[in-house]
Homo-oligomer: A and B are copies of this chain.
């Protein structure tokens, strides 16, 4: 085995660049074996040439070292728009044709290549990013910002893996990317793989230069040294010089990576944070493409961003220029007549699973199973419903600790500085927080930092979500908790991961991966001093729009339901599970077995709370979410005491999708079941954790919809006690009780005295809260007294 010569690498790069350019333009005549004519050109020219040559340059140089050194490496293209620069090498490696035989040279001959080129960015074909259909991709790169956090996620607990991540200089301007360089403070060389970032100073975005390409060399070097990296520079445009420099630098970087890892893995000294190498590749945008078009500079300028020659169908000079450009790669020397890459070159690329496009980690070929202990051991004993208060998240935290104990190498827990605050800190009995920055002696008192910790904390929801996605997409398992206020920070990441899973469900060679589990806690109803100005339960309104096959939303009302839900979610695959449950102490309603049954059903009547006695009730009091459940229950107690003849049904909904028709979501209830639960014509007072409209959006097709009156978060509040906040937003016990009275025909007239009394009591509770800063003791200590 020897290195491919620089000339051979250059030939492979010519082949990649040929394919990259050809896929933007050609629907026929794939190797230009006949003169290029208009009918060979696609009618719409779509795709991004600009960063493609740089991407294939990196891909091929890394492939060269893989072949030489037998590396286990994967490739993340931050500028996913430059997919031609990845598709080219992946097709040359043969992986593409193995997965899509109609695009393989072997079986389909030149027609395989023609189809491959034609289907790029073509209706019914494949996208112009590194979509899930592309073997080797775990990062689509459509929205910029997450390449490096995905790369770190892939590297954690994969000690032999090298994750090369090309970061575009456009992407480098985004916030999520700018902070993700700090991932090196969480990467343990003894235990984790390596991330090799390649900052591609392509120079331009769509219409602008990039910031990092327009600061001095000294500033650039300082910036990355400040981030804790050692930058190696590869700068220029003359291909052979650049090949020589890249080969040299990449070899040095891999030497340095191996040396860091070896020191960390064999030495007996304490592991310190190394200064990892990174590469800064400064090369012209649209490198090797047309230098000028119609007198305008194109190569090395913003005009090379997308399609450099975009009038080839209309303008014969452009057509000729395109042909000359494509022929400049000398495809005749590179491909045989049937479209195959010549054997001498193919032999220089890695084989089998060593190809980055065929690496099992990124093609979900390796999903390490999660050993799941029985959650029952962590259950809360509930002697009678709503008779005591327990922190809802703590039993789940104990369970996560057991899961961590059973899965030390393929499970991580993520939280933005909030794992303890969210009362999941029992996990620290099993593992610490990953931390490769400095550790002080006082850290022994409660910061739980550890070089080999498996809890990931950084004050960046973007980074955590990116790490978790990268970790899951390479076959592992995880759990992320975050304050409800800050869940919107990752809305767009949620959307994209959901879409990624949607597509994967249609890509048969991608096997199911572990679900992304997101606990939303520290909720709006217990805002405490985190006041109105950044409270928002609307993450659910974002989540609910995504593919029903992927999206799951649970609102467990108590600790056992949360525990059962958490264990279920950890078992599930291909979902995003959104769980909403507050971290504070709340009433406990269901023992473990009842919780299992309730979670399985998704919604149900709590017989002990209602008094319908077999017949149909006069009204249904329904609830979803922990605080709404408590208030609804307290309302039922008041009503039963004061209007004993009133027949009430109490319904708790913990799977939000139970409300929607079965035709809309796999967890939706049939209309018959829904009507049985909510009646066909009785008033339903529904008390909801989130914005009330969401319930209408789910249930508007149900028989009894016009009788469903929803109370939920109304964007009202300031600094409030729990009850005062509930009153302000109209989900307090008094308000609920009054609403029931108002909606049951005849009741308001017959019980005007009860209505008046409730109003007075509500006001008294409000006044007390404002005077003393806490709720009345009988409110905060309220418990359900079993009714006779």
Contacts and interface: CB of A to CB of B under 8 A. Distances in A.
A600 interface: no
Nearest to A506: B718
Contacts of A503: 532-533
A79 B131 CA distance: 39
A127 B773 contact: no
B173 A719 contact: no
Contact of A127 (B140, B214, B532): B532
A485 B143 contact: yes
A18 interface: no
B417 A207 contact: yes
A534 B499 CA distance: 7
Contacts of A542: 488, 491, 538, 541-542
A615 interface: no
A222 B529 CA distance: 37
Contacts of A302: 446-447
A459 B174 contact: yes
Interface in A550-577: none
Interface stretch (A94-102, A320-328, A690-698): A690-698
A710 to B, nearest CB: 10
A502 interface: yes
Contacts of A225: 219, 222-223, 226
A502 B715 CA distance: 9
Interface string A753-775: 00000000000000001101110
Interface stretch (A29-37, A177-185, A625-633): A177-185
A450 to B, nearest CB: 12
A746 interface: no
Nearest to A487: B492
Given A174-B179, A499-B715, A528-B46, A140 B491 contact: no
A500 B715 CA distance: 12
A47 interface: yes
A470 to B, nearest CB: 16
Nearest to A149: B175
A1 interface: no
16 contacts: A43-B774, A126-B718, A126-B719, A127-B529, A127-B531, A132-B533, A174-B175, A174-B459, A178-B178, A206-B418, A207-B447, A207-B457, A210-B459, A296-B445, A546-B715, A693-B697
Contact of A123 (B145, B215, B769): B769
Contacts of A530: 128-129, 142
Contacts of A215: 185, 228, 437-438
Contact of A297 (B211, B437, B445, B462): B445
A419 interface: yes
A496 interface: yes
A719 B121 CA distance: 6
Contacts of A223: 222-223, 225-227
A46 B691 contact: no
Contacts of A442: 297, 301
Nearest to A535: B499
Contacts of A214: 185, 437-439
Contact of A226 (B44, B124, B222, B297): B222
Given A417-B170, A446-B303, A533-B142, A221 B226 contact: yes
Given A140-B533, A145-B175, A303-B446, 13 more contacts: A44-B773, A122-B719, A123-B720, A123-B721, A124-B724, A128-B719, A129-B531, A174-B459, A175-B460, A206-B420, A207-B448, A536-B545, A542-B542
A394 to B, nearest CB: 16
Interface string A193-218: 00000000000011111110011000
A707 to B, nearest CB: 12
Interface string A430-464: 00010101111011011111000000011110110
B445 A719 contact: no
B715 A533 contact: no
Given A724-B123, A773-B27, A492 B489 contact: yes
A125 B719 CA distance: 7
A335 interface: no
Nearest to A173: B459
A489 B143 contact: yes
A693 B700 CA distance: 9
Contact of A462 (B175, B435, B445, B721): B175
A492 B488 contact: yes
Nearest to A142: B534
A177 B175 contact: yes
A188 B135 CA distance: 47
A421 interface: yes
A245 interface: no
A182 B175 contact: no
